[in-house]
Amino acid sequence: MSPSRTVPPRESGVLLHVTSLPGGRLGAPARAFVDWLAAAGQSWWQVLPLGPPDSHGSPYSSPSAFAGWNGILADPDARVSTRAVDAFRAANPYWAPSWEAYAGPGALADQVRFVREWSALRAYANRRGVRIIGDLPIYVAAASADHLQHPELFRSGVVAGVPSGPTNDRGQRWGNPCYDWPAVRRSGYAWWIARMRHTASLYDLVRIDHFRGFVAGWEIPTTTRGVKGRWRPGPGKELFDVLTAELGPLAVIAEDLGVITPAVHRLRDACGFPGMVVLQWAFGGGARNPHALDRHPVNAIAYTGTHDTPTIAQWWKSIARPHERAAARGACDALGITDTDRSWALVRLALASNARIAIIPAQDLLGLGASARMNRPGTHTRNWVWRLDEHALDDGLALRLRAATDHARRIVQH
């Protein structure tokens, strides 16, 4: 998604992680979801990271920044020849040998299976006019294969996190290793080149989580408790210039949420990347609120909510303040959105955004409440477990979403 002289088409899609599919795996349920998206007039399917999750089920703290998770395979026991494993190892010299050493016998056979299944699904989706948005965590996990293979690229004595901010009252101590950006620069950004090349082979567009870390990352000393730390400068545009020189134009979404400074927006805009705007944060915050509907730029992705926020029904019922509800009603009235189902009215409001892509979490399409929330940041239980009911996304909902998408001028003719 590079800057263009022409006005890009308006599009939309649905956020649903693979583990939230009926059965929690690829195969027939994934293809059925693609078929539903096509019937509903959607152009995009957004997923969360596809690597092996941590012990809490989080895909954002994986033992590998490259490997796919065998836990989502439809056929985890499919036959893989020695020749196929050898070919995979030779084609991925930067990370495959270290992952094999880390994960043990059979690790690369699983990666062959993963590439087969995922590539087949992506090709199927593309034939139906549906492209896939991936998700790239900026950091790697402590003691992961990447951390152990390249200790010289990380600083000792500090871990990553975020201070308190507008969307996070207490801050967070993530515990990830922090990059030693001068060392990464001296390496010619080789690890990042390999990572982005691999990512481009999996997705049509990728959201880079915590994009602000490329401007400055919050470092917390390992000798202290809590989130008290300091900002340390990141590589800025130099990294993306190197990646573009090596890989060509980058199809990237900049996740620019949280404690954001003007420098983060300048980097995003200098790279030509779209940022994110979230409807739940649109109805307060004053005249400079970047999520306010009348401030949505064309080069942006509009969401009702993300995997880290309440569902839109939960937000409306128990979190939104009276003045936010009043502002949301006023915005709907101004656009002629008269649906009495408030969740659906807010879905339509997101589709009406000026942003060129609107993404709606599946939970919001279904009007589900707190029990369907995907993640509660800062907690380690009851996350990443929500799963779609097999018959929830029916033909009637596809027609309803298609009509709303058409009204918002977001159906793309293929």
Average pLDDT of the segment spanning 362-387:
94
Q: pLDDT of 101-116, one tens digit each? A: 999 999 999 999 999 9
Residue 205: pLDDT above 50? yes
Q: From CA 251, how far away is CA 271, in angstroms rounded?
A: 11
Q: Which residue has the higher pLDDT, 1 or 370?
A: 370
Backbone angles phi, psi at 358, to 5 degrees: -120, 130
Tokens of 162: 């975020």
Of the candidates 110, 180, 204, 308, the residue annotated as catalytic is 308
Among this protein's residues, is 219 annotated catalytic?
no
Quote the mean pLDDT of the chain: 95
Of the candidates 11, 180, 219, 255, the residue annotated as catalytic is 255
Q: How far, CA to CA in Å, does 58 sit from each of 16, 49, 146?
A: 15, 9, 17
The pLDDT score that the predictor gives to residue 259 is 83
Sheet containing 131-136: order of strands: 252-254, 205-208, 131-136, 44-46, 11-15, 357-361, 300-303, 275-278
Could you tell me the pLDDT band of residue 167, with boundaries at 50, 70 and 90?
low
Q: From CA 191, how far away is CA 248, in angstroms rounded?
A: 17
Q: Are 7 and 406 in contact (CB under 8 A)?
A: no
Among this protein's residues, is 255 annotated catalytic?
yes
Backbone angles phi, psi at 78, to 5 degrees: -60, 145
Average pLDDT of the segment spanning 18-46:
97
Secondary-structure percent of the chain, ordered helix, strand, coil, rounded to 5: 40, 15, 45
Q: From CA 401, how far away is CA 407, in angstroms rounded?
A: 10
The pLDDT score that the predictor gives to residue 168 is 67
Average pLDDT of the segment spanning 177-192:
98
Sheet containing 216-221: order of strands: 172-179, 154-162, 216-221, 230-233
Q: Which of 83-92, 284-293, 350-359 has the lowest mean pLDDT?
A: 284-293
Q: pLDDT of 306-344, one tens digit each? A: 999 999 999 999 999 999 999 999 999 999 999 999 999
The pLDDT score that the predictor gives to residue 2 is 43
Residue 81: Cβ-neighbour burial (10 angstroms; 0-12, 13-18, 19+): exposed
Average pLDDT of the segment spanning 395-404:
97
Q: Tokens 């399917």 label which residue?
A: 45
Could you tell me the pLDDT band of residue 378, with boundaries at 50, 70 and 90?
confident
The pLDDT score that the predictor gives to residue 289 is 92
Average pLDDT of the segment spanning 42-54:
97
Q: From CA 45, how far away is CA 38, in angstroms rounded?
A: 10
Residue 351: pLDDT above 90? yes
Q: ∠ CA(145), CA(387), CA(132), 5° rounding?
A: 60
Residue 6: pLDDT above 60? no
Among this protein's residues, is 152 annotated catalytic?
no
Of the candidates 11, 180, 209, 364, the residue annotated as catalytic is 209
Could you tell me the pLDDT band of residue 414, with boundaries at 50, 70 and 90?
low
- List, in order, residues 6 or more apart from 91 with CB less than 8 Å away: none
Q: Are 84 and 131 in contact (CB under 8 A)?
A: no
Residue 288: pLDDT above 90? no
Q: Tokens 């210039």 label which residue?
A: 241
Q: pLDDT of 218-271, one tens digit each? A: 999 999 988 999 999 999 999 999 999 999 999 999 999 988 999 999 999 999
Q: Tokens 């959105």 label which residue?
A: 337
Q: Are 214 and 236 in contact (CB under 8 A)?
A: yes
Average pLDDT of the segment spanning 344-371:
97
Q: From CA 414, how far away is CA 411, in angstroms rounded?
A: 9
Q: From CA 28, how far away is CA 108, in angstroms rounded?
A: 24
Q: Are 349 and 279 in contact (CB under 8 A)?
A: yes
Amino acid at 327: A
The pLDDT score that the predictor gives to residue 164 is 82
Q: From CA 202, how far away is CA 36, in angstroms rounded?
A: 21
Q: pLDDT of 232-243, one tens digit each? A: 999 999 999 999
Q: From CA 170, how far away is CA 175, in angstroms rounded?
A: 15
Residue 75: pLDDT above 70? yes
The pLDDT score that the predictor gives to residue 380 is 85
The pLDDT score that the predictor gives to residue 3 is 40
Could you tell me the pLDDT band of residue 7, with boundaries at 50, 70 and 90?
low
The pLDDT score that the predictor gives to residue 300 is 97
Q: From CA 206, how far away is CA 314, in angstroms rounded?
A: 27
Q: Which of 395, 359, 356 is nearest to 1 (CA)?
A: 356
Q: What is the pTM of this model?
A: 0.95
Q: From CA 53, how far away is CA 36, in angstroms rounded?
A: 27
- List, in order, residues 6 or more apart from 341 with CB less than 8 Å away: 367
Q: Which domains does the chain have, with CATH numbers?
A: 11-407 (3.20.20.80)
CA 46, 160, 194, 245 torsion-angle sign: positive
